[in-house]
Amino acid sequence: MDERQGDRYGLSSDQKDALGVLASADPHAGQSKWTIFRQLPPAKRWPYFAQHFLPGVLAAGLVLALLIGLVVTRLTRPPDPLISVQGFNMSSHEEGFDRLKQGFMRDQGIKDGRLVDMEATLTLNGQGYDDSAKALTRVTAGQINMVIAPAGLFPTLCKRGLVAKPSQGLKGGDLRRLASQGVLVDSKGRQVSNPSHAMGLDLSRSSRWKQVPGLPKHAILGLSNIADTVSYVRAFVDYMDFD
């Protein structure tokens, strides 16, 4: 075979060089990626790092950021209240509600004001632009344990499912005593003697309520979502000193 045939059917010099490279042993065989990275010349280190290390570094950074966020959220989140009492259509009586809150905290020996939530910020008017949806959401989530409303508004709270029967939280003996004192009322605010028919407590019979200047005389206290707060709900009823 002459030289031209070798050139036609044989391997070129570049192909022979390529085969030589493929056949040669990998100088980095058996070495860790970190060892290989340190042995590379500076110009090749960043591409190698980006290919082999950067995805893992980014993933680890994301996990660390999430963990830090969870820790910060837990450390800075205020404690859940022991009891939450919400007044409806009584925003002008916030000062009176605050006085009740301070008195109840002293009575129970509670030092942290965040543990007792007592405010009168929500409104109900039945005209489509009130706090109905917000109130129902908070009640469902257990963020409202008791409600206070003017006597004329209390039936609306009952119709909207914001009020639970007193028998779901108060003891039978306490209910019978309150009934004998004329404290229990039905969903329409009418006095009842049978505790099973009761839906609220008449605040005009509460000495604590009457001692706070400016609070409306005809208002009703009702229980709401009390699943985790029953002991403090009972304590608040005792604190209101019905007679």
Q: What is the arithmetic mean of pLDDT over 94-113?
A: 96
Question: Is-contact 33 40, C-beta < 8 A?
Answer: no
**Is residue 139 located within the same domain as residue 52?**
no
232 domain-assigned = yes
Q: At residue 211, what is the residue type?
A: Q
DSSP state of 122: E
**Is residue 209 located within the same domain as residue 227?**
yes
Question: Is-contact 201 242, C-beta < 8 A?
Answer: yes
**CATH code for the domain of 216:** 3.40.190
CA separation, residue 184 to residues 48, 151, 188, 242 (Å): 78, 13, 11, 10
**Quick one: which of 144, 160, 123, 116 has its CA closest to 221?**
144
Structure tokens at 43: 């110009």
**Is residue 211 located within the same domain as residue 95?**
yes
* pLDDT at 1 > cutoff 50: no
21 domain-assigned = no
> What pLDDT sits at residue 57?
78
Least confident range from 49-63, 95-109, 216-230: namely 49-63
DSSP state of 28: T
Structure tokens at 42: 């500076």
**Is residue 55 located within the same domain as residue 161?**
no
Among candidate residues 49, 77, 105, the one where a domain is terminated: 77
pLDDT digits (tens, 9 = 90+) for 52-72: 777 877 777 788 787 776 766
pLDDT digits (tens, 9 = 90+) for 195-217: 999 999 999 999 999 999 989 99
**Quick one: which of 141, 99, 140, 142 has its CA closest to 119?**
99
Determine how β-strand 116-122 pairs with β-strand 219-223. unpaired
Among candidate residues 37, 54, 77, the one where a domain is terminated: 77
Q: Which domain covers residue 144, as residue numbers?
A: 83-239
Number of structural domains in the chain: 2
